[in-house]
């Protein structure tokens, strides 16, 4: 019987899946909106694209209550420490979404003032490319994040 | 004797009239006389120059023509209601870069002067607050100097810090200011922003509070400084367009048009009538999206979520319309020097009319929801007030200025494109408070709809692009079919290729070696399908061959959604801009923001900030 159920792992993985399922549909996001991408972020939460369908509509403006840090828009050297501080203040488990090409790589702002990708400052889970990304791309990014959350090893 | 020469005679040896091929009024003033000349121009001269529209710097280190000194300070003055512009150029030597401050005359000058210090390292004698504004204290050097390499960075957070144990404590915290000696010890200092739900975009307010009342406030900006002006010097004239999109990203098309008009002014280029109409149509569509966003966001911040949803719905329709024409929803890069990228689609007029109908319904709904809503009115009326005189001192423009009762609108005052042929009104308020600003914006949306309807009736057929000499190129060839995937007809086009590239067919010689000065890129199907098109494209794109306006400078203002959006462009005759200075409307608005919230409650800041419609992209550039 023990062999049939796959050992102790059997029970653990089921709980993992259940927790992952619950977590992926209740994403509380912290929108760190700085620039142009914010306009598309608005469109995504607007009636036409409706982020609510993914259980990710409710923004929390306190990092303590948020699960996902949405970095939306260019991060300059001046604001980098502040974004880092917001990330540090978030509780585990936490994820980071890089929204737009500026946050992924710095985009076409290869200059003295722009951080060349936020992954030089915080770890990133999902990169959404585009300048700014279309709402559909954002929705796909959310789904990729959900997939990742579902599959990952859950800590609880 | 012209009035400029009269001024020069009043200050012998200190003021010189400079010639301007672009037809502008330009004076060269010595720095010792600057304060006296400005005081005279503002207070005694007729007309009096009551607006300081823009103050910026130029570094002439690598300019091909000799200049009296390395640096130059530029003051763009404007006289309202006489509608006269005047530019002062003040040479500043490299060994002693100090200029007298004009903050005593124009309250708005302070921020501009801090910016010039920040980016050029020119100091101002008499400027009370002489700190950096866009960059941070740890930054070394002054990035807009020509000898500053564009990618020399001074990061505040580095990768090593992230991986180090206990990294939480190592990230540099935001400095919280300690109370000034003499400040009331009872008062509380509160940091609001840079990451705060109501500070959309990124801005930092340091508030001194007595209970709930704002005693004083300090505005910190620069968190979205993306070095637009430095980037513009590193790319070709046409490549600047994508950067202009991202200045005011809520109305990118107006930025496109403003920059194109400034460059065309330097080149002396007149665009076709149809193209002028197209530019007006796209500008007004952009203005509507901007105002919708502003009203929607400020209503949402006061708790009126429904209004936000109604307006975002219509805005999305407009984005899709913009996408139909330009290929992008938001960052469009639609305008070109000498024209636009592509003609309007055949279905455009019908689609636009349908959307305008929806827009009218949404406007009615929002009027019903908000305009006489007791809670909304109580939170808006009499809040965030600024007087007419202070607004002019700070250089306010756009809906903010009009809410104070000054009906200054660039579209009426100095009509560009075809605005003089269109019938529209300039709404203005009387109280200068949040409620008036809300009403002004709502009415401006109505007026923009009115303009669009007239444009749809009046727009002529014909070509949309001209070349440098004003010759008309056929629109059918210029339309960018290839980019939209309609390549069916292109297969039939015979590709004219010549392996020698020297032009075996002498009749086509002119086409194979097109005039260097031609301004407009050929259509993609010509580039891919014929050697002339390819050569033409190549010549325009390759550095040193492409668009190169003659040595000169021009300032062109357009009415942005937030006010006067000015582009001051200097060409050194090469393929890249020598300097592109932007006069962002938000910059002046935010420099006076602390006065608008003084005496109000903390919660009122959110209502006031919403109606200012600060856009970080153009504020910090």
Asked if A82 and B223 come within 8 Å (Cβ–Cβ), the reply is: yes
Asked if B174 and A47 come within 8 Å (Cβ–Cβ), the reply is: no
Within a 10 A sphere around the Cβ of B612, how many other Cβ atoms? 23
Flag whether residue B265 sits within 8 Å of chain A, measured between CB atoms.
no
Chain A positions touching chain B (beta carbons under 8 Å): 32-36, 38-40, 42-43, 46-48, 59, 61, 73-74, 76-86, 88, 108-115, 120-122, 131-132, 134
C-alpha pair distances (Å), B428 with each of B197, B291, B580 = 30, 15, 32
Asked if A76 and B197 come within 8 Å (Cβ–Cβ), the reply is: no
For position B83, what pLDDT does the model report?
Answer: 87
Flag whether residue B250 sits within 8 Å of chain A, measured between CB atoms.
yes
Give the residue ranges of chain B where pLDDT is below 70: 1, 158-185, 201, 462-526, 543-546
Beta strands in B316-410 (DSSP E): 335-336, 339-340
Instruction: Give A-chain residues touching B148 at CB under 8 angstroms.
Output: 112
Tell me how far apart the alpha carbons of residues B621 and A103 are, in angstroms, rounded to a whole number. 17
For position B177, what pLDDT does the model report?
Answer: 53
Q: Answer whether B345's CB lies under 8 Å from B480's CB.
A: no
Q: Answer whether B393's CB lies under 8 Å from B371's CB.
A: no
Flag whether residue B145 sits within 8 Å of chain A, measured between CB atoms.
no
Instruction: Give A-chain residues touching B222 at CB under 8 angstroms.
Output: 76, 78
Q: What is the ipTM of this complex?
A: 0.82
- Sign of the CA dihedral B56, B62, B64, B69? positive
Flag whether residue B305 sits within 8 Å of chain A, measured between CB atoms.
no
C-alpha pair distances (Å), B351 with each of A12, A40, B263, B355 = 56, 22, 32, 6
Flag whether residue B320 sits within 8 Å of chain A, measured between CB atoms.
no
The first and second tokens of residue B410, run together, are 């660039």
Give the residue ranges of chain A where pLDDT is below 50: none
Tell me how far apart the alpha carbons of residues B555 and B230 are, in angstroms, rounded to a whole number. 18
Flag whether residue B157 sits within 8 Å of chain A, measured between CB atoms.
yes
C-alpha pair distances (Å), B43 with each of B38, B315, B390 = 8, 45, 16
Tell which of B616, B617, B618, B621 to mutate to test the A interface (max A CBs under 10 Å).
B616
For position B506, what pLDDT does the model report?
Answer: 31
Closest residue of A to B138, CA-based? A78
Listed in sequence order, the DSSP H helices in A25-105 are: 37-45, 80-89, 101-105
Closest residue of A to B297, CA-based? A42
Overall pTM > 0.90: no
Write phi, then psi, for B52 (nearest 5 degrees): -100, 100
For position B285, what pLDDT does the model report?
Answer: 92
The two beta strands, B552-560 and B335-336, are unpaired
């Amino acid at each position: 019987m023990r062999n049939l159920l796959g050992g102790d792992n059997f029970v653990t993985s089921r709980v993992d899946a259940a927790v992952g399922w619950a977590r992926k549909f209740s994403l509380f996001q912290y929108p760190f909106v700085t620039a142009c991408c914010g306009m598309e972020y608005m469109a995504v939460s607007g009636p036409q694209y409706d982020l609510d369908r993914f259980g990710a509509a409710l923004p929390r403006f306190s990092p303590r209550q948020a699960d996902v840090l949405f970095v939306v828009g260019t991060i300059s050297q001046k604001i980098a420490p502040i974004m880092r501080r917001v990330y540090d203040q978030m509780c585990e488990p936490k994820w980071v979404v890089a929204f737009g090409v500026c946050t992924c790589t710095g985009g076409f702002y290869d200059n003295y003032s722009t951080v060349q990708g936020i992954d030089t400052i915080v770890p990133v889970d999902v990169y959404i490319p585009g300048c700014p990304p279309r709402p559909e791309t954002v929705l796909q990014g959310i789904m990729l994040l959900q997939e990742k959350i579902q599959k990952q090893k859950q800590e609880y | 004797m012209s009035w400029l020469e009269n001024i020069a005679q009043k200050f012998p040896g200190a003021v010189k009239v400079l010639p301007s091929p672009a037809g502008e009024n330009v004076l060269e003033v010595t720095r010792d006389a600057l304060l006296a000349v400005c005081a005279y121009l503002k207070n005694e001269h007729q007309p009096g120059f009551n607006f300081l529209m823009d103050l910026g710097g130029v570094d002439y280190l690598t300019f091909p023509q000799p200049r009296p000194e390395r640096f130059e300070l530029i003051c763009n003055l404007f006289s309202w209601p006489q509608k006269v512009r005047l530019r002062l150029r003040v040479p500043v030597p490299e060994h002693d870069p100090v200029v007298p401050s004009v903050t005593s005359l124009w309250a708005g000058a302070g921020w501009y002067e801090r910016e010039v210090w920040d980016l050029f390292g020119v100091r101002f004698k008499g400027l009370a607050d002489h700190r950096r504004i866009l960059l941070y204290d740890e930054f070394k050097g002054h990035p807009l100097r020509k000898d500053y390499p564009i990618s020399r960075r001074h990061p505040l957070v580095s990768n090593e810090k992230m991986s180090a144990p206990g990294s939480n404590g190592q990230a540099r915290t935001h400095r919280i200011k300690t109370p000034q000696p003499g400040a009331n010890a009872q008062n509380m200092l509160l940091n609001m922003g840079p990451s705060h739900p109501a500070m959309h975009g990124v801005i930092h307010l340091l508030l001194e509070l007595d209970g709930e009342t704002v005693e004083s406030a300090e505005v910190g900006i620069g968190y979205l400084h993306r070095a637009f002006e430095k980037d513009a010097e590193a790319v070709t004239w046409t490549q600047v367009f994508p950067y202009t999109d991202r200045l005011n990203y809520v109305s990118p098309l107006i930025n496109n048009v403003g920059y194109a008009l400034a460059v065309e002014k330097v080149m002396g280029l007149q665009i076709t009538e149809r193209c002028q109409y197209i530019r007006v149509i796209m500008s007004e569509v952009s203005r509507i999206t901007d105002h919708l966003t502003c009203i929607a966001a400020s209503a949402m911040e006061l708790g009126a979520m429904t209004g936000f949803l109604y307006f975002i719905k219509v805005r999305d329709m407009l984005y899709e319309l913009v996408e139909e024409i330009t290929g992008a929803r938001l960052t469009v890069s639609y305008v070109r020097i000498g024209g636009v990228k592509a003609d309007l689609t055949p279905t455009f007029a019908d689609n636009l009319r349908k959307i305008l109908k929806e827009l009218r319904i949404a406007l009615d709904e929002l009027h019903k929801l908000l305009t006489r809503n007791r809670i909304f009115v109580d939170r808006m009326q009499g809040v965030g007030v600024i007087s007419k005189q202070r607004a002019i001192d700070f250089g306010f423009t756009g809906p903010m200025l009009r809410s104070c009762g000054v009906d200054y609108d660039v579209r009426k005052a100095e009509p560009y494109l075809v605005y003089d042929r269109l019938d529209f009104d300039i709404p203005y308020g009387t109280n200068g408070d949040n409620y008036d600003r809300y009403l002004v914006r709502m009415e401006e949306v109505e007026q923009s709809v009115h303009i669009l309807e007239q444009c749809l009736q009046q727009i002529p057929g014909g070509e949309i692009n001209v070349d440098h000499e004003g010759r008309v190129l056929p629109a059918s060839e210029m339309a960018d079919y290839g980019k939209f995937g309609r390549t069916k007809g292109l297969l039939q086009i015979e590709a004219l290729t010549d392996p020698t590239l020297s032009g075996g067919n002498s009749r086509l010689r002119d086409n194979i070696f097109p005039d260097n000065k031609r301004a407009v890129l050929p259509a993609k199907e010509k580039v891919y399908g014929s050697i002339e098109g390819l050569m033409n494209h190549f010549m325009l794109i390759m550095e040193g061959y492409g668009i190169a306006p003659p040595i000169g400078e021009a300032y062109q203002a357009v009415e942005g959604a937030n006010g006067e959006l000015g582009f001051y462009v200097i060409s050194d005759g090469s393929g890249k801009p020598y300097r592109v200075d932007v006069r962002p409307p938000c910059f002046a608005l935010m420099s006076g923001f602390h006065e608008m919230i003084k005496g109000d409650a903390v919660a009122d800041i959110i209502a006031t900030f919403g109606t200012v419609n600060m856009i970080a992209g153009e504020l910090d550039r």
